[in-house]
Amino acid sequence: MQEQYRTVARAGVHEAEISRSRFLCALAPAATEREAQEFVARVRKEHPTASHHCFAYVIGADASVQKASDDGEPGGTAGVPMLQMLMRREVRYTVAVVTRYYGGVKLGAGGLIRAYGGVVGEALDAVGTIARQRFRLVTVTVDHQRAGKLENDLRATGRAVREVRYAEAVTIEVGLPEADVEPFRAWLADTTAGTAGFETGGEAYVDA
């Protein structure tokens, strides 16, 4: 599995004008292929008079799902360069839709490739990307008396506290790089004088 990947920080739109054609690149995070397809459909509905709605998306930390569409542009001149830009930037779980309003000047195959790939690159710069790191989830169980200080210590040492639940005892879910699990177990025992429970769980990607 990938240790880390990048994704877009938020949804956003970037516009460029090239040889009188308007290119609007809409970017959005997408957790699943269905979410990506729904985003493409939504952009189409927002711009019903546009000449083309070309798209590309990459789903999976290991880029297991990759799709691209030229939507009527000459084959390989739109969706593929858009997809290549997402892959080159190592962006995952992201969908890009480039809406083109034709301005009357033909760009040629090379011009289209540069335009579609370029506007996606510009949009990624404008919207921004964030890194997500693969972590092992661990659950710490501690009494109420120690919980507040322990949570503060965890946050102060830069650990990814994902959830805190208060019941008879307090459970704190923490994300750790795999290599830190055993050192963390030792630190926890030392910090809580051996009173805290410790359980390893599954894996998840969290903001690095």
CATH of the domain at 169: 3.30.70.240
CATH of the domain at 40: 3.30.230.30
> Distance between CA 163 and CA 158 in Å, rounded?
15
Contacts for 133 with CB less than 8 Å, ≥ 6 apart: 3, 4, 177, 205, 206, 207, 208
In terms of domains, do 107 and 9 share one? yes
In terms of domains, do 92 and 181 share one? no
In terms of domains, do 114 and 58 share one? yes
Judged by average pLDDT, the poorest of 76-80, 95-99, 149-153 is: 149-153
Dihedral in degrees, nearest 10, Cα atoms 205, 166, 188, 4: 0
pLDDT of residue 208: 64
In terms of domains, do 105 and 139 share one? no
pLDDT of residue 44: 97
> Distance between CA 43 and CA 25 in Å, rounded?
10
Range of the domain at 71: 4-127
In terms of domains, do 123 and 139 share one? no
In terms of domains, do 81 and 141 share one? no
> Distance between CA 60 and CA 38 in Å, rounded?
17
The pLDDT of residue 158 is above 90: no
Query: What predicted TM-score, i.e. pTM, was given to this entire model?
Result: 0.75
* 190 SS3 class: helix
Mean pLDDT within 27-44: 97
Mean pLDDT, the chain, rounded, equals 94
Number of domains present in the structure of the chain:
2
In terms of domains, do 119 and 41 share one? yes
Identify the CA nearest to 148 among candidates 133, 160, 135, 164. 164
- At position 29, the amino acid (one-letter code) is P
User: Over pLDDT 90: what percentage of the chain?
Assistant: 83
Identify the CA nearest to 150 among candidates 207, 193, 183, 200. 193
Last residue of a domain, one of 109, 127, 145: 127
pLDDT of residue 114: 97
pLDDT of residue 202: 87
8-24 confidence digits (pLDDT tens)? 999 999 999 999 999 99
